[in-house]
Amino acid sequence: MSLNATARRRWLGAAVLFAALLMLIGGETLLKGQLNQTWFVLYWLICFLLTGLAISIAFLDAKIVQRRTRQEHRELLETTLRRIEKDAKVKKTQQSKGGQVRETGGFEQ
C-alpha cells in the first residue's frame, strides 16, 4: 500500500509526537531520579527536539493544505467564470437567431 505525500507527512508527525509523548511519560515516571545530570539534559533535549519537530511538521502540513485550498478556490472561480461566459455567448447567439430564453435557464426556438 503506497501512501501519498499528505498521508506520509501526517503519519510522520503523529509518530514523532507519539515518541515525544512516550519520552515525557517515561521521563516523569520510570526515569525520574535515575539519570545523572548529563543524561538528564540530553534526554529532555531530545524530547524537546521531537516536540519541536512535530510542531514544525504540523505547520508545514497546514501551509500545504492552505496552498492546496487556495488553488482549488482559484480553479473553481476560473471554471465558474468560463461557464458564465459560455452561457452568455450561447444566450446571445440564441437571441440573435430569434430564440427565446426560458425561465429555467434553457432556450426555446
Give CA–CA dist 60/19, Å, rounded.
19
81 has pLDDT over 60: yes
Where along the chain do its domains lie? 5-71
pLDDT digits (tens, 9 = 90+) for 44-55: 999 999 999 999
Amino acid at 7: A
Question: In the predicted model, what is the mean pLDDT of residues 52-73?
Answer: 97
Report residue 107: phi and psi, to 5°. Answer: -125, 145
pLDDT band at 109 (very low <50, low <70, confident <90, very high): very low
